[in-house]
Amino acid sequence: MPPPQALALARTKGLDLVEISPTAVPPVCRIMDFGKYQYEQQKRALDRNTRNAYQTLVQGISEVEARRLAVVSAQSAYDASQVGLEVGTRTVLDVIQNQRILFSAQLDYAQARYTFLQNRLLLSQSLGALDVAELQDVNRLLTQDAGNPATTTH
């Protein structure tokens, strides 16, 4: 159908003439409600982003717990190496190595908590549920002692 005729048909139906494939010869067009099409695309993108944010948050829970347990384990190894140093079965290098591992585990744990809280805010934003109370709760969790996993709740 010639473009002027297609445009006239779209106007009589109260729709838009949208070019689908401009590089094709002849160009391919479709008669549609372009505003409704854009709305549906945005709605699908929002649904997809919300699902992804939820999945990321669920994975983050496991990540935080694994990192917390790694800190507990590294703390036990560090404490044992200190006792071993006192009784003569460990060297200072063993203690320093375990201390380095402990600090690394604590850093990983803090980063996992931070990422989890960030993802929590992104999910709340996607759901349209981000409010002052949510921000205050996240702020409270950010100011907790991340170095002591026994005091951390999530």
Amino acid (1-letter code) at residue 153: T
pLDDT at 146 over 70: no
Q: Is the pTM of this model over 0.85?
A: no
Percent of the chain with pLDDT over 90: 71
Residue pLDDT, tens place only, 3-39: 788 889 889 999 999 988 888 888 899 999 999 999 9
Q: For residue 16, what is the DSSP state?
A: E
Alpha-carbon distance of 56 to 39, in angstroms, equals 25
Which tokens sit at 67?
């990192």
pLDDT at 41 over 90: yes
Q: What mean pLDDT is predicted for residues 127-148? A: 84
130 burial (CB, 10 Å; 0-12 / 13-18 / 19+) is: middle
pLDDT of residue 147: 52
